[in-house]
Amino acid sequence: MYPPFGLGVVTPTLELHGATDDLLADLLPVVRAGVADGPPYPFDDPMSLYEDGPLRERKWLQAIWRGRGNVRPESWRLYFVVTLGGRAVGMQDLIGTDFDRFRTVSTFSWLAPGVRGRGLGREMRAAVLHLAFEGFGAAEATSEAFFDNVASNRVSGTLGYRPDGHGWASRRGEPARLNRWRLHRDDWEARRRGDIVLTGVEACRPVLFIGEHGAPEA
């Protein structure tokens, strides 16, 4: 009944699966233990993962449920659970704003603390970018990361994004500088991988209001 549940992206290292309630339940122990409990804090406000106790879990789930039910031509968000050897270890989101007009996406992700530092952040971003460019015909992708989020900024640079200026956002109520990044389709094409498999794409196109016309000219 909800085709995004059938979306899948498989790489030689990990898999992205549409975030069903069963998969979200598999991630609850990770959320309960905490994924952003110390500086430098990676997320801007408001963020459910900064909450304490059971409120963290409830607000995290509610945000995903709202996002599922709020798919419109001008705005949609796909939620994926990242699995490593069959174990849920994080989330990777793909966000479209007026996508059928501008063919631009942005991304958001987090990983369980115990699996960081192994290149998984880069691999899951590469996976969701393959879905965006190869599966949906994106023209460009953007990303933002706080200036001291070394891992996220490194992933963007490694995958071919180019610096795109700076901005400001609050985290835990305090202002901090954001680095902005932009990946053009030509730069993605130069690094296109042949070992990533997509499933369930065609069934999702009408749900996300994606037409068949090509990406806009740069």
Query: What does DSSP assign to residue 115?
Result: G
- Other C-beta atoms closer than 10 Å to the C-beta of 12 total 9
Q: Which fold has domain 3-204?
A: Aminopeptidase (3.40.630)
pLDDT in tens for each of the 218 residues of the chain? 899 999 999 999 999 999 999 999 999 999 999 999 889 999 999 999 999 999 999 999 999 999 999 999 999 999 999 999 999 999 999 999 999 999 999 999 999 999 999 999 999 999 999 999 999 999 999 999 999 999 999 999 999 999 999 999 999 999 999 999 999 999 999 999 999 999 999 999 999 999 865 444 44
Contact assessment for residue 199 and residue 3, using Cβ atoms and an 8 Å cutoff: no
What tokens does 207 get? Answer: 């749900």
What tokens does 41 get? Answer: 């804090």
Task: Give domain limits for the chain.
Answer: 3-204
pTM (whole model) above 0.85:
yes
Contact assessment for residue 88 and residue 23, using Cβ atoms and an 8 Å cutoff: yes
The residue behind tokens 């994926």 is 80
Which class for 74: exposed (0-12), middle (13-18), buried (19 or more C-beta within 10 A)? exposed
